[in-house]
Copies of this chain bind each other. A is one copy, B any other.
Amino acid sequence: MTYGVGILLEGGLVFASDSRTNAGVDQVSTFRKMTVWERPGERVLVMLTAGNLSLSQGVIHLLDNGMGERLHAAATMVEAARVVGEAVREVEMRDGEALRRHHTDFNLSLIFGGQIAGERPRLFNIYAAGNFIEASPETPYFQIGEIKYGKPILDRVITQGSSVAQATKCALISFDSTIRSNLSVGLPIDLACVERDQLRARRRSVGEDDAYFAGLRRHWSDGLRRVFSEMPDPG
């Protein structure tokens, strides 16, 4: 299982994804689900993938090779999202029919976002059919994969006015809730923070030995229990 979240803020973008892939509990591996294309000062593009890993890798391969030029020539983020959607469709043309013969769904969903010089940061959710929707002030984040456990904290905390640091903190707590409740979502967490107009991504891998994350989990857990115990019991 996968969990990925992308958050659109007035001041930039935050992306986070776990790195566990599994095909049954006895076959658990670590694969990156975040891809970053960066031309510092010109554009930064980040993609998270969920679903069938072979399909995700097929899309990434196309975008790194055959369709790379078009991705880097796109004048706007919508144009870039369209290129990604076309890559999804090309993989479906190639693999879809064979998958159907093996009773396997074309299971793939993507979060794609970033900033191209001259535009504001933008964020998209791209579906298996290659179609997509864009994040708005009312819906400032997208999730893919195992989304439910980590959604309540995003709903309570995130607004477009949140800072990149606050949104990063919130994304990590959202991961903590998910990892606690679903064993198949696992560390390390890949993080990419994009400050508006800097046109580059600050990346970080958060693993078991990450002191900040360990402190955050403890702090959050203790804080929740404290708030819980301070509230009056029902009469």
Give A residues with C-beta under 8 Å from B. 148-149, 151-153, 155-157, 163, 165-166, 168-170, 172-173, 177, 180-181, 212, 215-216, 219-221, 223-228, 230-235
Contacts and interface: CB of A to CB of B under 8 A. Distances in A.
Contacts of A155: 180-181
Given A227-B227, A231-B220, A152 B181 contact: yes
Given A157-B225, A212-B232, 13 more contacts: A148-B148, A148-B181, A152-B181, A153-B224, A156-B221, A168-B233, A169-B234, A172-B234, A173-B228, A212-B234, A215-B232, A219-B231, A227-B227
A224 B219 CA distance: 12
A90 to B, nearest CB: 33
11 contacts: A153-B224, A153-B228, A156-B180, A156-B224, A166-B233, A168-B233, A170-B228, A212-B234, A220-B227, A223-B227, A227-B227
Contact of A231 (B153, B163, B216): B216
Contacts of A153: 224, 228
Contacts of A177: 152
Given A149-B149, A151-B181, A155-B180, A231 B225 contact: no
A48 B52 CA distance: 36
